[in-house]
Structure 1
């Protein structure tokens, strides 16, 4: 029987198992970013990229779904960090912070389409369980609704239920992100300008002064 080849990875020292787990997550995320195929994710290929044997994967993850959950959680965390950093450094009031967060969302999709495909492409993350759905996939929506509520409190956007207003805004942002990937040759306007169109049209947020 042929032995499985690895890349000759050095064995982790005692207490470094967490590093291997993180490397497996990164290997799986990279593979998904390239293929966009969650259902066809190969644990053997993930192990090869991480430089370990296939059985080593099961020391950290019970099955492929467990690995996928960690991959998606890590990528949602990256998205949240990007939005949070943009909001924290935005100049101006709550309306401009809302704009910065929305632009950061679209910017990640444009700048790193592979990561965005991991988040919202292929099999839906809701297949991984209700708890996962509530804790991970709804985070961008909650962040958007909170941003709208803050902008309302500052008088920057129209009144209404923030969660209800967030639905068409999120759908429009997602549309920009996915359509730019699907139709790269289309003469798309600047992504930031499209975000301004959405916020002005759906929420009444005046365009940023230049």
Structure 2
């Protein structure tokens, strides 16, 4: 297991929140490259397959609060699936990644989603990511299929390119901003103690606007266009 520091620096910095976000999806869809691009703004052409689990961190500001994102990456191969319960424990966000040039990786998304929902908190924020958008000429997954799935499952959605850094920042910031919104609302509810219905509805009905991005639709689906 390894960890990395934010390229913006996080020494001697007061951290208001630490949010754990997990990357899931089949092997070789680019999970580690998305993580490297977001955490260190790096991309390696000859990236090796992830063995077991690792994580990177990056600190950023949301609504004048300092958020430390702890992004966990795991191998997509079946033989590492035994890490499941520990991997998901404490996660408040998830990036569910497929490769737009490999239909099978999209067909497996439903299975990954079932596994995620079976182990994670019910209010976890999930972003469906179609990675490798720079390989559009090799596209095997129509964007309409992914939009429809995201809408049906109430997920955020974007297509990204870790290679070209397209929408990577936007995808992570969208998820982290939504997590922050839910967490801060939970704090208000806990302090006020006026909400007897619990927090099950906290994910519904509020749009967020990320700089440079259009706000999500009511279905919470977003894409790069």
Rg larger for? 1
TM-score using structure 1 length: 0.27
TM-score using structure 2 length: 0.26
